[in-house]
Amino acid sequence: MIPLRDRIRALPKHPGVYLFKDAHGRVLYVGKAGSLKHRVSHYVMPGRLEPGKRDLAKRATDVETILTQNEAEALVLEATLIQRHDPPYNVRLVDDSSYLYVKITRETYPKVQFVRRADPDGAWYRGPFPTASAIRTTLREARKLFPWCTAKNPGDQDGEPCFGHHLGLCPGICAGKISVQEYQQHIEALKRFLDGDIRDAIATLRARMTDASMRQHYERAAKLRDAMRAIETATTPQHVVTPRQESLDALGIARSHTHAAVAVLAIRHGRVIGRHIFPLLTPPDESVSSILRGFLLSYYPRAADGPPDILLPEPVEDAALFSQVAHRPLRIATPTRGWKRRLLELARTNAEEALRRSTAELESPAALERALRELQETLHLPYPPRRIEAYDISNIQGTLPTASLVVFRDGKPARREYRKFRITLEEQPNDVAMMREVLQRRLGKHAGGKNPTSDWPLPDVLLLDGGKPQLGAGRVVLQKLQLSIPIAALAKREEELFVPGKEGERFHLIRLSHASPALFLLQRIRDEAHRFTLGYHQLLRKKRMTRSLLDDIPGIGDATRKKLLRAFGSVRALRSASPEELTKVVGPKLAQTLRTALQRTANAVYPVRNSGKP
């Protein structure tokens, strides 16, 4: 078989779609290109790839290409293939098969239905709606305002009226109470109402109410009046958000690790009529622009009620070609100021709140228990890991090297058990050596299985921030101390989990699903360790920047330093002080030590601290 690198080099400079596959033939990623040779060649040059795509380049063993007439055709085909294959390295809607559409059939007596997909059958569709309960509630309330019939054959007036007629939810077409034209007017008003064209719906109802009153159908006129008032009451909180009566979607995005949420703020005829939240699974380190592009490809070709204008917080590739995919005109813009930018900020706020809620759900007791049991299965543990310790290293070019230990009990942080470490290596610090030192200091007292302190037990799992080198350092320490503790390292860029190998294998790589509760928990633990270490490192840097020269002179502690600075005000004044003046404050012996040190560093410049606080 021709090596993948050689196959890529032989690709044509032609528009088309490419599909990367793994050794088992599974499609890993689908992309489109104006020039297949130029685009796909990037995957054999890791330095030019986004971090999230580097792992793809490692896993791919084959590439399939499909040529198209032009780039627009390639974009349409890309969207189709992503939906068909659901590749793990493409941005995906979470469980999009469960999204609902509202369908109104195209027939003499239109039916109102919920369906799972929009077919090209000429019917009227709106959706997809990610929250089924919300659209069901909306339609249930809409039926009170614009009744429709659920009978199998509403035109068969010889049968019994439908059950909805007795509840006031059917206008009576099945009982011969209204004409076909009137029934169709009901349905058209419902469509306009669902599209947010509320003023038109009210005007239509008012005209029908006037007509019914003139015909002396007072009971019917009263029902139309009540429906009109109900609409006005329901829409009172709505406010016009655009200077003109425009219809558009404003998209906001929030992300955390491999989870993201896109909020679609639907503005119709100048009013906000809805907000739809779409949870996404994204590859690690995927750019916001790439996530938005993937969402557009997944959502708008199937969005039956999409407006012509879409506002995005960042520009996306191929924006001018999306009309071809959606089969209708689309104008995609990224405003930087004005009311459109404010709409994007509102959409972003909605996305952040939705992601916060979903994150809170992942941190619920039930979700944490699922995550711990998944970790038990993944790491082949005899029981769920109730105590997990995570370690992280922080240093900047070898200066002020520090480390942290954070503890999670039953999936929750046990902050009283967090620990900070100042690295004491005499050699030039490096992450692997520092990790080895920290683990030795933490676990040294347990060598040989000893447990001298019952309040500081051994962990069920050791989690290291890093990859194979850090895992190797941890294994060396555990072997030296004769300890048998499950250990793993989580690499940040690709979110890969490394564990010790078996049967001669040094390391074993585990790729958890991006939707995995266990991966979310490990990411949270790793990030908490990083936050704690970084905070400690920044504190030490701040202390170093505010150190006084006096801190480095033997015999001068915190109390003496404060006394000297209160008496003289600054290091410069201390240098100018006479031996007698210094002796009055600290005594003759320390005064001599102080004068010698100050003279030795007379040409050095030090920041002065006037209080004992860092």
What would the pLDDT profile of 167-206 be if each residue is shown by its tens digit?
Answer: 878 888 887 788 888 888 888 888 877 776 666 667 777 8
Q: Which two tokens stand for residue 153?
A: 């054959």
Do the beta carbons of residue 292 and residue 319 sit within 8 Å? no
Do the beta carbons of residue 256 and residue 355 sit within 8 Å? yes
Question: Residue 376: CB partners within 8 Å, gap ≥ 6?
Answer: 382, 383, 384, 385
Looking only at the bridges linking them, the beta strands covering 487-491 and 461-465 are: parallel
- Angle of the 517-545 helix axis to the 365-378 helix axis, nearest 10: 100
Going by pLDDT thresholds of 50, 70 and 90, the confidence category of residue 396 is low
93 has a pLDDT exceeding 70: no
Taking the CA atoms of residue 173, residue 177, residue 181 and residue 182 in that order, the dihedral angle to the nearest 10 degrees is -100
Average the pLDDT over 351-376 and give the result.
85
Highest mean pLDDT among 134-148, 440-454, 462-476, 486-500: 462-476
Nearest to 408 by CA among 520, 511, 497, 499: 520
- Which residue do the tokens 């890309």 mark? 78
Do the beta carbons of residue 172 and residue 186 sit within 8 Å? no
Task: For 250, list phi and psi in degrees, rounded to 5.
Answer: -115, 125
Task: For 79, list phi and psi in degrees, rounded to 5.
Answer: -60, -40
Q: Indicate the range of 133-147, 212-226, 461-475 predicted with least confidence.
A: 133-147
* Alpha carbon distance 189, 199 (integer Å): 11
What pLDDT, in 10s, does the model give residues 371-391?
Answer: 999 999 999 999 999 999 999
Kindly state the percentage of the chain with pLDDT values over 90.
14
Positions of E strands within 209-318: 248-256, 259-268, 271-281, 309-311
529 has a pLDDT exceeding 60: yes
* Alpha carbon distance 173, 149 (integer Å): 7
Do the beta carbons of residue 458 and residue 482 sit within 8 Å? no
323 has a pLDDT exceeding 80: yes
Top-confidence residue, 240 or 314: 314
Top-confidence residue, 48 or 422: 422
Task: For 582, list phi and psi in degrees, rounded to 5.
Answer: -70, -40
Q: Using CB atoms within 10 A of its CB, is residue 182 exposed (0-12), middle (13-18) or buried (19+)?
A: middle
Highest mean pLDDT among 11-25, 213-227, 599-613: 11-25
Going by pLDDT thresholds of 50, 70 and 90, the confidence category of residue 475 is very high
Q: What is the pLDDT of residue 556?
A: 80
Q: What is the pLDDT of residue 409?
A: 93
146 has a pLDDT exceeding 50: yes
Do the beta carbons of residue 493 and residue 284 sit within 8 Å? yes
Q: Which two tokens stand for residue 223?
A: 């029902």
Task: For 196, list phi and psi in degrees, rounded to 5.
Answer: 90, 5
Q: What is the pLDDT of residue 611?
A: 34
Number of helices followed by number of strands (H, E) in the chain: 20, 20
Average pLDDT, the chain: 79
- Cis peptide leading into residue 128 (ω within 30°): yes
User: For the chain, which domains are there?
Assistant: 4-89 (3.40.1440.10), 97-234 (no CATH), 248-361 (3.30.420), 367-544 (3.30.420.340), 546-600 (1.10.150.20)
Q: CB-side exposure of 93: number of CA atoms within 13 Å?
A: 25
* Alpha carbon distance 84, 568 (integer Å): 78
Average the pLDDT over 67-95 and give the result.
74
- State the Rg of the chain over Cα: 34
Positions of E strands within 269-330: 271-281, 309-311
Q: Using CB atoms within 10 A of its CB, is residue 396 exposed (0-12), middle (13-18) or buried (19+)?
A: exposed
Top-confidence residue, 70 or 344: 344
Do the beta carbons of residue 275 and residue 252 sit within 8 Å? no
Task: For 578, list phi and psi in degrees, rounded to 5.
Answer: -80, 160
* Alpha carbon distance 400, 392 (integer Å): 14
Q: How remote is the C-alpha of 243 from its chain's centroid? A: 32
* Alpha carbon distance 485, 220 (integer Å): 78
